[in-house]
Structure 1
Amino acid sequence: MAIKQQSNKFIQMTTAPVERLICSLAIPSIAIMLTTAFYNMADTYFVGSLGTSAVGAVGIAFPLMAIIQAMGLFFGQGSGNYISRALGAEETEGASKMAATGFFTALIVMASLSILGLLNLPSLVRLLGATETILPYAMEYISFILVASPWMAAAMVLNQQLRFQGSAVIAMVGMLTGAILNVFLDPLFIFVFDLGIRGAAQATMCSQIVSMAILLIGGSKKDNIRIRFKHFSPRLSIYREMIRGGIPALLRQGLMSISTIVINHFAGVYGDAAIAAISIVNRIYILAGSIMFGFGQGFQPVCGFNYGAKLYARLKRAFWFCIRLSSAGLLLTSVVFAIFAPRIIALFRNDPEVIRIGALGLRLHCISLPFTAWLVICNMMTQTIGKALEASLLSMSRQGIFLLPALFILTPLKGLLGIQLSLPASDIVGFIVAIPLATRVLRQMK
């Protein structure tokens, strides 16, 4: 019965009209990405009433959250890319071993890193860029985030694996439930139980555990690969495939974390308001990017199945559909954000200095936002089809190869404005670099 269900999914992924198929997968994926953004947005919104330093503490935790997400995406996309190709080639046993190995390895690795972080908490928080006024808030918040990190990474792994199998709706339900729970628990823990910023972290921890449980139980039903410990196969050959598919995501998110730490240290010179404003803009930017990543994630299982089945013309048609639609969506989003930037920033912290810095930063981000559609969709395509070198270069270009040098060059020249200019500048240069790389990969598919 399970083999027949997998066969039905193979037929659907390789024969249904790609536009309709991608949209059916993209809508839940967009909801998942928005949900992930809301996890961070909810904390920032409710913590805003506790003061600028408290908002800054959430910003200090952002690179740590990016690291946790990087590990979840590494194991999730590393295993998920292989799973989609294996199912496209109708190799169910290999897909089952990869799914279990990715899930259990993520739990083990993140539990170890969590213990290490808790044992060195003060040093970790200072490394992330906390000022002396932000430090006590950040230590409270980050300690609970570290405790939650194994469940956060495991939920991300399950989310990615289900998505790559074409079960985006189940993945959406699990993540959306956690996000809604987080929105309700934040004010309850912060204000009713009077736990302050600690309550925001505890709300995130509880909601992430619930998300993981729903994904684990819901993902074992219907025609999905079941996570079973007996399929856990920590072998070099499996990890080689996992690294091949997951390293671009790890590089992308890991470099984003490093860049954010550098930004926090540079912005700290200009006070807690600068850190708070940049933190708010980062979260809004992630929210906008959810449109692009949602279409990209709707494209990835279609890409993996059809690449495994050698249906290259169908893959290219899906690719160009995603480029057109996500670019248009980001262009519209940029216009709206640019017009209402001060009001949007004020929703999170009604501090004139935070609004002034944040509104300018958000408008500068809007200049480059539409260009990121090409960069990210190309990155997802090369990653899914196993082009590790090209995918890694595209991942590193935006958050590392260009952003870090931009920060070190523009900040001494332009001060705080230089920090705000660095990301849009790196986005535009990354877009230019991605054109020949992706074009060459597309031409190779004959």
Structure 2
Amino acid sequence: MKKDLDLKNDSISKLFLTYLIPAVIGMLIMSLHVVIDGIFVGRGVGSDALAAVNIVVPLYSLFAAIGLLIGLGGATVASIKFGEGKNEESSSIFTQAVLLAAIISITITVFSELNIEKLSYILGANDKILPYVKDYMGVLLYFGPVYVLADTLDCFARNDRAPKLSMYAMVIGAIINCCLDYIFIFKFHWGVSGAALATGAGNILSIIMLLMHFVLKKGNLKFIKTRIVLNDVIRIFRNGFPNFLSEMSAAVVTLIYNLVFMKMLGEIGVSAYSIINYIHILMLMVFIGISQAMQPIISYNYGAKKYERVRKSFKLAVSVSVIFGICFFTSGILFGKNIVKLFNNNNMELIMLATTGMKIYFVSYLFMGVNIVTISYFQAIEKAKFSTIITLCRGLIFSIAGLFILPKIFNINGIWLTAPAAELLTIFVGYFLLEIYKREIKNLEVNIQ
């Protein structure tokens, strides 16, 4: 990326587009390889394997949550310090974040490997799909530190004004993953273990590409000799906590979805939800890409006290997320059955169940993008409390309440209705918090003048 990009003075639309295109393309490619991974597993191993992979999703979400906790939390602090002209402190934050990511992820990996069967049952596995779950989880855990470091480095590279590198790393890693998926599943017949191995290998390549940016000092951030400072760690965790909470909320909700479906429909219910989840990742990553494109611009200008530019960036991101949300909802209504058949085209009960679920579930995308962008906005300006409130509402409070209440009223359709209901209710919470912050920022601007 060109070094003459001026976050303080260039037009907001130009800056946003510069960050948006690589962010969304990278996220789309990354999520697309997850979808292809699911297609290979569904067609190459079977519907029970799909269910098993979905059982392990909460554990994968844990690694993603830690990566975002440290990566986005640290990158937000580093970007604000860039805006304040404190480049050396930014590099200290970066170095501490990478060390934290390595230490925490290795600890979780060792503990989980020692308790793999017990963990499988806790996540919802039954005796029928337990072998698949253990095979997939066993390999995934070895790559836990890789997933965390990839997410962490990706966040810092984007905030170091290298969004294209972030995109290239994700795209190339995803391509390698897809190629290895085909080889390991269809040629070597390694089943779900092969799928997990392919994903880990793709992430290793991504890490190597991202590390070169910092090791070769192509940006402002670099590894420096530093110590882990408690106050810096607290600030990183405070800013990254909404993202951590969002991922962990998704893990908890996925776990509850799996348990509810297993209770009401058995393995086929979990398989149907697995298909929806694979597609959901595709849509979710686009919204995350939009929010990530917005975050460096907002954090830098907030640090530079350019509040009008902060507002314009947020409004633009909201508008783009609404447009994408409408497109996603329409695609689910028009092409739901064809999408489901990509994963399994011979089990009509599974196809009908997942197709119906998709049409209902996709209503949530009309509201989800706005909620995700609002969460990222508050995080980018270090209003972690507001981000946390919104995250708790959409990710835990409304979702869990919906899963306990709606199925009793609407049966199976009530499970699918939970996501749209949670996102809609969260819109009102976000609006209320935005109104509170508007009053705060007006007072701050008056004091500055």
TM range, smaller chain:
over 0.9
8 A contact 2:213–2:219 mirrored in 1: no
Pairing 1:265–2:243 present: no
Alignment partners' CA distance in 2, 1:294 and 1:100? 24
Q: Is the 8 A contact 2:69 2:240 kept in 1?
A: yes
1:191 to 2:198 alignment: no
Give the structure 1 partner of residue 316 of structure 2.
Answer: 321
Matches within 5 A, 1:20-419: 20-49=14-43, 50-220=45-215, 221-228=217-224, 230-231=225-226, 233-269=227-263, 270-350=265-345, 351-419=347-415
Aligned counterparts of 2:404 and 2:439: Cα–Cα separation in 1: 37
Counterparts of 1:110 and 1:415, CA distance in 2: 39
1:16 aligned to 2:10?
Answer: yes
* Per-residue Cα deviation, 1:154-199 (whole angstroms, up to 9, x for no partner): 0000001112233111111111111000000001011211211111
User: Is 2:272–2:354's contact at 8 Å kept on the other side of the alignment?
Assistant: yes
| Displaced runs of 4 or more, over 6 A | none
Q: Distance in 2 between matches of 1:379 and 1:443?
A: 18
Asked if the contact 1:42/1:182 (under 8 Å) is kept, the reply is: no
CA distance in structure 2 between the aligned counterparts of 1:287 and 1:439, rounded to whole angstroms = 31
Equivalent residues, number: 437
Work out the CA distance in 2 between the residues paired with 1:294 and 1:83: 19
Unaligned runs of 5+ in 2: none
Question: Is the Cα contact below 8 Å between 2:157 and 2:213 reproduced in 1?
Answer: no
Mapped contact 2:87–2:220 kept (Cα < 8 A): no
**Does the aligned pair in 2 maintain the 1:316–1:442 contact within 8 Å?**
no
TM-score of the aligned structures, taking structure 1 as reference length:
0.95
1:14 alignment partner, SS class: coil
Q: Which amino acid aligns with 1:354?
A: L
1:109: how far off?
0.6
Tell me, yes or no, if structure 1 residue 433 matches structure 2 residue 429: yes
Superposed displacement of residue 101, structure 1: 0.8
3-state DSSP class of the match of 1:347?
A: helix
Amino acid at match of 2:29: T
Q: Map Cα deviations across residues 356-409 of structure 1 (whole Å, 9 max, x no partner).
A: 111112111222212122211111110011101101111111110110111112
SS in 2 for 1:340: helix
The answer (yes or no) to whether the contact 2:83–2:301 under 8 Å persists in 1 is yes
Higher mean C-alpha displacement, 355-364 vs 67-76? 355-364
Contact 1:170–1:219 (Cα < 8 Å) also in 2:
no
Q: Distance in 1 between matches of 2:214 and 2:276?
A: 34
- Deviation for aligned residue 1:352: 1.2
Q: What is the alpha-carbon distance in structure 2 between the residues aligned to residue 133 and residue 277 of structure 1?
A: 17
For 1:302 and 1:284, the matched residues in 2 are separated by 29
* Contact in 2 for aligned 1:167/1:224 (Cα 8 Å): no
SS in structure 1 of the partner of residue 143 of structure 2: helix
Letter in 2 for 1:51: G
Which string of whole-angstrom CA distances, capped at 9 and with x for unpartnered residues, describes residues 310-334 of structure 1? 0001111111111112201210221
Q: Secondary structure at the match of 1:62?
A: helix
What letter corresponds to residue 203 of structure 1 in structure 2?
A
**Cα offset for 1:290?**
2.7
Cα RMSD over matched residues? 1.5
CA distance in 1, matches of 2:131, 2:409: 32
Return the alpha-carbon distance in structure 2 between the equivalents of residues 35 and 100 of structure 1. Answer: 28
* Counterpart residue type for residue 288 of structure 1: M
Partner SS, residue 221 of structure 2: coil
Amino acid at match of 1:432: F
SS in 2 for 1:66: helix
Residue range with higher mean Cα deviation, 84-93 or 347-356: 347-356
Deviation at 1:222, TM superposition (A): 2.1
Q: CA deviation at 1:94?
A: 1.0
The 1-side partners of 2:367 and 2:439 are apart by 22
Alignment check: 8 A CA contact 1:89 1:309 kept:
yes
Contact 2:298 2:381 in 1 (8 A): yes
Alignment check: 8 A CA contact 1:371 1:428 kept: yes
Kept in 2: contact 1:55–1:276 (CA 8 A): yes
2:343 aligned counterpart, secondary structure: coil
Counterpart Cα distance in 2 of 1:200 and 1:405:
34
Q: Find the residue that maps to 2:7 and give its secondary structure.
A: helix
**What is the aligned-residue identity percentage?**
29
**SS of equivalent to 1:400:** helix
The Cα of 1:440 is off from its aligned counterpart by: 2.2
Structure 2 CA distance for aligned equivalents of residues 227 and 141 of structure 1: 34
Give distance in 1, aligned partners of 2:29 and 2:374.
23
Q: Secondary structure at the match of 1:285?
A: helix
Question: How far apart in 1 are the matches of 2:46 and 2:296?
Answer: 43
Mapped to 1, the partners of 2:319 and 2:423 lie a distance apart of: 18
* Helix, strand or coil at the partner of 1:15: coil
Amino acid at match of 1:238: D
Q: Is contact 1:278–1:358 with CA below 8 Å preserved after alignment? A: yes
Q: Deviations over 1:108-141 (max 9, x none)?
A: 1111100110100011111111122111101100
What is the TM-score of this pair, normalised by structure 2? 0.94
Instruction: Give the secondary-structure state (helix, strand or coil) at the position aligned to 2:8.
Output: helix
Whole-Å Cα distance in 2 between the matches of residues 415 and 126 of structure 1? 25
